[in-house]
Structure 1
Amino acid sequence: MSLRKSVIQTMGLIWLLLLANVLHAEQVLLVVDAKGGGDYRSIQDAINSLPDTANEQRIIYIRNGNYKEKVFISKHKITLAGEDKHKTILSISLSRDVWRCESPDDWGVAALNLRGNDIVLENMSIINSYGFDNLNDTYIDCKTDTGIITKPIKRSSHQMALRSFTTTRLIVRNCILRAYGGDTVSPWNVEEGMYYFKDCLMEGGVDFYCPRGWAWAENCEFVAHGNVAAIWHDGSKYEDSKTVLVNCTFRGDDGFKLGRYHRDAQFYLLNCRFASNMADAPVYLNASNPQNTILWGHRVYFFNSHREGGDYSWHKDNLQQAKNAPTPAMITVAWTFAGKWNPLAILPVGDVISNKQIKPALSVVEGNKESGSKGKGQLDILVLQAENMLVYQRAVGGWPKAVDNVKVDYTKQLSEAEKKRILADSLHKDATIDNSATTKEIRFLVNAYKQTGNQRYLKAAEKGIRYCIKAQNAKGGWPQYYPDSSLYRAQITYNDNAMVNVLNVLQDIVEKKNGFDVVDASLIPQASMAVEKGVDCILKTQILENGKPTAWCAQYNPKTLQPEMARKFELVSLSGMESAGIVSFLIRLPNPTPAIKNAVDNAIQWFEAVKITGYVYQDIADANMPNGKDRVILPQTNAVLWARFYEIPNNKPFFTGRDSVRKYKLTEIEHERRVGYAWYGTWPEKILQKEYPAWKKKYFNQ
């Protein structure tokens, strides 16, 4: 045996020992590796080795590979955790019609067949590839079919990736479940089935997501084949049974329908998004012969769920029509399962495995560095902040900058009561990109993942990225808040570099820079498209003076792209600060187009034309002023400043208090606004001295 191979095997054994030490004493860890590097080569063999029941979850860790086998789980408290959801693949190719010609029931019809309770699936793909493998309909001899011996097998026939029978308390996180035909994901236990799906992609034909009983799906993507219904529910046993879908997206073939039901059902869709090619077809009762009796009426409820290109009338907000008229904040995981089960208490395997393998932390985000952090090392503070970010993240994917008018402090140790209160408010529409909110959290969580290996941090960051992509408006700009569009919040917002912060995160994803090489690769083309649209918006909003491009206003109308006033002291203007942020972003883009080059060159000329020389902007002590200070400009040789706001078209600096009246001297506005806003700065200085000359040399050979 070579020394290199021996070292690798030894390191592998050490890793497994560390992994095992992290787990609870009663937990079992088995490793499946198709190449022979684990305890078993087969998933089923690993399951078969375990006792039928246990007090703790038994974790089966599955290394990357394509496991072409049917898996049966009749035992309880089993966790299957893949190494990578794209590379750990359980697959079969089987039509249900073929199976039922050979078998009396569905046990064995799917890639994954479940009868056990307390089953957890994470980080893996579960695929029934029959419809992808067989592009044409076929015929088979089927003696068990009393109607026709020669039976047609359609490409779109039922093809189950997951089928459960008596299972309850099923958790599926960060998984891909694919088929071309119907009933891809079939968790069926109408009497007591409870199912929790999060961060999953589900794909298939008619009724491809079809839970019976109680189900919660959050941040999931549904991909429909054919012009048939995507989702289905059977809640016919108990009036309280329901399927809840929160922050989910739906896309598919042209004319796909959202959903249907055959028996009593209850649907709740909150903060969902529908592709423009979805049919104008409400969730409907499917005709049957004989027709099933519907005891509790048509129960399909929506909140803040919209279609690209414009809404249909049937998915408008109507929660008030549901029994007891629940508010969005009331519709939680606990509410869905009526307090009988808390899937959030079951930690992802990534947490259990990696917390003992955390590397040293790097940095602390802004906030009160003392609050809640005394006696803690950098690592503890990093984990504390990351965990708090998960608590504060809104269901839509973004973060608030303040709660109850108090700035969010991630270094504060939250009590359990505080956590519950914040989580219960996750549907609040206060997610924003203002003051670096959301982009700051995304960057921090990506770094926290790289330092700790905790998958929850990466998933939260990816959810935040998807929020940013979703928030982009039709003109390519970003509103200050999303989905809240009240007051000035829907305006395209360059103010405080809000839009530029988002674009820099997305460009980092495209270029795999600043730690973003770890995010889901499927986000790269989405980020690239969003950046392209954002740049187009920037170019279209550069303000012309006498036909010459100059700089940018801080905010614009989202439909007309005309400059607009925001707060009372933020009037229409050319902005020195925001324009600097925009130019710095344009300069970072590789292979700039002629339009980008022209925009940058003209903005640089404007910076040079409006700079103010011979002054500095600073705070001074003044006992006659509130808080004992004032903010002024003072003479200083060789100093350079730019004003925050310049008049259009004369480029004259101006200042505004809360009365919205233009003043031309800083001393003329009230003290509160004078010291509470950045009226001057050196924002373009670095661009003029370093970034622009280097950019010109690279792309103009000058």
Structure 2
Amino acid sequence: MAPAYVCMILFMFMLASSHSAAVTSAAILVTVDQSGNGDYEKIQDAINAVPSDNKELFFIMVKPGIYKEKIVVPADKPFITISGSKANGTIITWNESGEIFESPTFTVLASDFGARYLTIQNTYGPGAKAVALRVSGDRAAFFGCRISSYQDTLLDDTGRHYYKNCYIEGAVDFIFGNAASLFERCHLHTLSEGDAAITAQRRESPSEDTGFTFLGCKITGVRTAVLGRPWGAYSRVVFALTYMSNVVLPQGWDDWGDVSKQSTVFYREYKCYGPGANAEKRVGWSGKLTDNEAQLFLTKNMIGGKSWIRSIPTRFKKASTKHA
């Protein structure tokens, strides 16, 4: 990778960073370039080179290209960030259907993971479960990424997660799982052609501190959809300050054919707007948050994010050796 390219990208990252968590140590910079001008030609090879039980920050910079890879970030490799320069130029793609833990294009098992300006897609299409991204580690953050599939796009499985300025596309339960996650200024685009759900949150007991919050987001689509349905009996989803196009059906929510869940789910909206936000015909077992109730959902405090969401590193060093 040419030095001028590295300097340009790092300068852009530093300008784009606005997060409060400070990084005091230099990150180890690793480059991936399909043309052979980086440290590695494949993203997975760069991940594999990170030591087990790693304690240092690794910043894997991926040069634009289409990377046909099935990626796994193992649980014993924390503190990795993988970044492109812009999402529509750095594309990680796979085509596979199957069970939700087996089909993902990109799987994150490690804690303290970050991704920036990547497209992560599963191109399988309709007809089966086909996960694009599975996030099963704690303290994972995604900035400016594009995540797309059709059914079960984003398995937001377990842990605390933060998504900012991401584009997420799918048709059926395309944001699902039992993580505690904040989606800020994200664009949700539903491919549903009827009444499929955007979310399927799986909170299974009132003692679980999990749920999805969508803050300042935008919902568009091709036809119509509902905001969510309960994968777990205590499913918790909040939409706040979100623009809803007329793709959102008037009833807003679905009980997945189990009326008993109507008394246990927590489905709330707060100061949403647009033609799909009209609450007159919403199901009676959803509701609106008061100003006081909404405060919990309007900051990163709900996921403890101020203590772990990292800024772009401002100092870099190269790895001491290049692994084969």
TM-score, normalised with respect to structure 2: 0.81
The alignment status of 1:218 with 2:184, answered yes or no, reads yes
Contact 2:226 2:254 in 1 (8 A): no
Structure 1 residues 205 and 295, CA, compared in 2 at 3 Å: closer, same or farther? closer
Give the CA deviation at 1:273: 1.2
Q: 2:213 — aligned with what?
A: 244
Identify the residue that residue 106 of structure 1 maps to in structure 2: 101
Give distance in 1, aligned partners of 2:84 and 2:48: 18
1:15 is displaced (CA, Å) by 4.7
Which structure: greater strand fraction? 2
Larger-Rg structure: 1
How far apart are the structure 1 equivalents of 2:277 and 2:104? 38
Matched, 1:230 2:205: no
2:302 to 336, 357, 360: 336
Measure, in 2, the Cα distance between the counterparts of 1:353 and 1:87.
25
Deviation at 1:113, TM superposition (A): 1.1
Residue pairs, 1:574-613, within 5 angstroms: none
Q: What is the match of residue 183 of structure 1?
A: 152
Deviation at 1:43, TM superposition (A): 0.2
Could you list the per-position Cα deviations for residues 153-204 of structure 1 after superposition, in whole angstroms to 9, with x for gaps in the alignment? xx24221110133x1111011100011x211110212xxx111111000001
CA RMSD of aligned residues (A): 3.0
Identity of aligned residues (%): 21
Change (3 A) 1:13 1:284: closer
Distance 1:92 1:282, change over 3 A: same
Q: Does 1:255 align with 2:221?
A: no
**Map of 2:114 onto structure 1:** 120
1: distance between equivalents of 2:208 and 2:7? Answer: 49
Which residue, out of 272, 275, 279, partners 1:312? 279
Could you tell me which amino acid in structure 1 is paired with residue 59 of structure 2?
I
Q: 1:336/1:255 Cα in 2 relative to 1: closer, same or farther (>3 Å)?
A: same
Counterpart residue number, 1:670: none
Q: CA distance change for structure 1 residues 294 and 41 in 2, over 3 Å: closer, same or farther?
A: same
Partner amino acid for 2:115? L
**295 and 282 in structure 1: CA distance in 2 versus 1, 3 angstrom threshold:** closer
Find the aligned partners of 1:14 and 1:250 in 2 and give their Cα distance.
Answer: 35
Alignment of 1:271-350 (within 5 A): 271-287=241-257, 294=261, 297-308=264-275, 311-313=278-280, 314=282, 318-320=288-290, 326-337=292-303, 339=304, 341-342=305-306, 345-348=309-312
Alpha-carbon contact 1:196-1:343 (below 8 Å) kept: no
- Corresponding position of 1:207: 173
> Is 1:265 the counterpart of 2:199 in the alignment?
no
Partner of 2:320: none
Name stretches of at least 5 consecutive residues in structure 2 with no aligned partner. 15-22, 317-324
Q: Which position in structure 2 is the counterpart of 1:159?
A: 130
Structure 1 pair 13–213 and aligned structure 2 pair: CA distance change class (3 A): closer
Conserved? CA contact 2:139–2:309, under 8 Å = no
Q: Which amino acid aligns with 2:82?
A: L
Contact 1:62 1:81 in 2 (8 A): yes
Give the Cα separation in 2 of the matches to 1:13 and 1:280. Answer: 49
Q: Distance in 2 between matches of 1:14 and 1:78?
A: 18
User: Kindly tell me: are residues 328 and 64 of structure 1, through their superposed partners in 2, closer, same or farther at Cα, counting changes over 3 Å?
Assistant: same
Using the alignment, how far apart are the partners of 1:301 and 1:13 within structure 2?
45
Q: Is the deviation greater in 297-306 or in 168-177?
A: 297-306
Q: Distance in 1 between matches of 2:178 and 2:306?
A: 18
Q: 1:239 to 1:85 in 2, by over 3 A?
A: same
8 A Cα contact 2:227 2:248, kept in partner: yes
Q: Following the alignment from structure 2 to structure 1, what is the Cα–Cα distance between the partners of residues 171 and 197?
A: 8
Q: Which has the higher helix share?
A: 1
In 2, Cα distance between equivalents of 1:242 and 1:310: 20
Residues 310, 285 of structure 1: CA spacing in aligned structure 2 closer, same or farther, 3 A cutoff?
closer
State the SS of the aligned residue for 1:106. coil
Q: Which amino acid aligns with 2:79?
A: K
Q: What is the CA distance between 1:317 and its match in structure 2?
A: 6.7
Higher relative contact order (CA 8 A, sep 6+): 2
* SS at structure 1 position matched to 2:229: strand
Per-residue deviation, residues 405-432 of structure 1 (Å, max 9, x unmatched): xxxxxxxxxxxxxxxxxxxxxxxxxxxx
Question: What is the rounded CA distance, in whole Å, between the counterparts of 1:261 and 1:344 in structure 2?
Answer: 29
Contact 1:260/1:286 (<8 A) preserved: yes
Q: Could you say what secondary structure the match of 2:178 adopts?
A: coil
In the alignment, the residues of structure 2 paired with residue 163 and residue 225 of structure 1 have an alpha-carbon distance, to the nearest angstrom, of 20
Question: Normalised by the size of structure 1, how large is the TM-score?
Answer: 0.39
